Amino acid sequence: MSGGVPPYVRLANEIAAQFAHRAPDEAATAIANHLKAVWDPRMKQALIAHANSGATDLDPTAALAARKLQAPS
């Protein structure tokens, strides 16, 4: 892949768009729950690392969901 948005970022942003009608914290929780249930662990770790790197291409709600993913359950 050369210079484009990583697939996990694109997917996380698309999921975040589906929850845009909810309050940010509520949406981030719903997104994190979806990612926990559906995504491969490698994708989740890549998203978390991307969010932690300060990436600007990640929807703010998706970034919050990534932070929720890394929080202890």
Quote the tokens at residue 41.
């662990």
Query: What's the rounded mean pLDDT across residues 9-26?
Result: 97
Whether 2 shows a pLDDT value over 60: the answer reads no
**What is the per-residue pLDDT for 4?**
86
What does the pLDDT look like over 37-51, one tens digit per residue? 999 999 999 999 999
How is the chain split into domains, by residue range?
Answer: 7-70
- Band (pLDDT 50/70/90 cuts) for residue 71 is confident
How confident is the model at residue 73, as a pLDDT? 59
Stretch 15-38: mean pLDDT = 97
pLDDT of residue 1 exceeding 60: no
And the tokens for 49?
Answer: 């690392």
CA distance 11 to 28: 14
Q: State the virtual CA torsion across 62, 70, 54, 31 in degrees, nearest 10.
A: 0
